[in-house]
Amino acid sequence: MGRLIAAGFLLLLLWCQAAAGVGGGVVVRRRSRPPTLARHYHTTSSSSSRRQHAAAAGGDDAGGGAVPAMVQYETRHYTQRLDHFNSAPASYATFQQRYLVNDTFWRSKTAPILLYAGNEGDVELFANNTGFMWEAAPRLGAMLVFVEHRYYGRSMPFGGREAAFRDAGTKGYLTVTQALADYASFVLSLKANLSAPAAPVLVLGGSYGGMLAVWMRLKYPHIIMGAVASSAPILSFYGLADPYAFYDRMTDDFKSESKHCYEVLRDSWAELDSLLATKEGASRLKSTFNMCNGSSVEDIPSLLESAVVYAAMTDYPTPSGFLTALPAYPVREMCRAVDRSGGGGNDTLLRVRAAMGVYYNHTGAASCFRGEEEDDPYGMLAGWDWQACTEMVLMTYGLSNDSILQPPWPFNLTDVVDSCRNATGLPPRPFWLETEFGGYDIGNVLKRSASNILFFNGLRDPWSTGGVLKSISDSIIALVEPKGAHHVDLRFSSKDDPEWLTRVRAKETRIIARWLKQYYSDEAIST
């Protein structure tokens, strides 16, 4: 069977599930769970197939280095209800939901509150990496609040992670609607405690967090006055999105840099499979790729797949540390490495190794490539595996004939549903979020029913294929940047940012300021 990378998020997040150098080696995580639609970094391996699942999310540091000094916050907890929608006795159970707050810039009790809708991971990652919020807060006189998503980080129902993920009965409270109700309840309590009932609240998020931001504005417009959604693929569900579009866009990213590079990488999978099938071939791979002790040449295809997918997602114009330390425009640099390598001949393996080196060892600090088993330092996998196979059923599964990932993989919803049922023991609900929040005829629906939503999408980002790419009204605005990558606007600014990125962030700030001006006018609040 073929090889598939099903990119689901999340969105998202991030960071940790991709690759990192540990102990002088390059890490790839390989697992053997049933395949799900979305995961931060997951490879299912068997004698017949290798499937990897990628995800996305919001935020990044200023260039892969230390967290900027301006990122300072207090950690607090809110007593959250387990179930907002039922009156059964079990619904009244509570858990401690973590949130981070910085009120340094908050000018008054009518000044804005910028709320980050926590994605599928530890909330500190978002606070440390969502530079746009930190840079906008002083200009807007805003308070910053980052609230953690239930079942992630330290916000665990039932007393802890083990109990929270014990079985379907405990995991069943992990849903989008419960998470949004958490945020609504939290915001009302926060404003009451601050004696700031008139403070406008804007919600921001990237990737899955961006989806939550949009849905929060739609579901609770009386609580949230605006939403900034970066790289939010709210149209990536069945019937709304082309299931081949994600990987087609990724393929186009590489083609645009070098047709030769694309062809080498596209054809490399067959060669790797052929070599792995024999002892002689495995020996050749071992001599070409310097795998760390305890690692196997079987890890090489997964390493390459990850590098190709994540380089396309994070094809940022400046150096970054979102997934691993990367140079500016990593797709371009990987293709340059492919085109320049080969030992003077046409050695595909040397070219593949060179491409992997750009992604996994840009700094030169790793002495070998290492495949590592289970590693989930930021607590993403258990929760996202559940969400991705219950209701966050994202349509990013098909590989077309021209895909850089070969061989082709025809999309089949029945197979997806069956694999998710096997993984969770429950039938997934692939149409539920479209029912809950809409999606069909999105332009006309939002024009009639919504306002104050800002979408950003960079067209280098494969996730943009499920994003809103056209403005819908004067206050539902889509900013689209052909050279942009995944939530690049949410990263900290840099002196090396291209002019188009500086313009995007400035425009986003002006739009937010316009919303606030209108809010204060409508509420007759003097600023």
Q: Are 185 and 81 in contact (CB under 8 A)?
A: yes
Token pair 């371009």: residue:
332
Q: Are 105 and 76 in contact (CB under 8 A)?
A: no
CA dihedral of 403, 409, 410, 412, whole degrees rounded to 10: -130
Concerning whether 461 is annotated as a catalytic residue, the answer is yes
Alpha-carbon distance of 378 to 18, in angstroms, equals 12
Alpha-carbon distance of 487 to 491, in angstroms, equals 7
- Calculate Rg over the CA atoms of the chain: 22
Concerning whether 362 is annotated as a catalytic residue, the answer is no
Alpha-carbon distance of 13 to 476, in angstroms, equals 25
Question: Of 185, 207, 403, 419, which residue is the catalytic one?
Answer: 207
Q: Are 325 and 362 in contact (CB under 8 A)?
A: yes
Q: Is 50 helix (H, G, I), strand (E, B) or coil?
A: strand
Q: Is 399 helix (H, G, I), strand (E, B) or coil?
A: strand
371: β partners: 28
438 to 75, 110, 202, 396, 442: CA distances (angstroms): 35, 32, 21, 19, 7
Concerning whether 449 is annotated as a catalytic residue, the answer is no
Question: Of 362, 486, 487, 497, which residue is the catalytic one?
Answer: 486
Using CB atoms within 10 A of its CB, is residue 392 exposed (0-12), middle (13-18) or buried (19+)?
Answer: buried
Question: Of 182, 461, 489, 497, which residue is the catalytic one?
Answer: 461
DSSP E strands in 234-364: the ranges are: none
Which positions are annotated as active-site residues?
A: 207, 461, 486
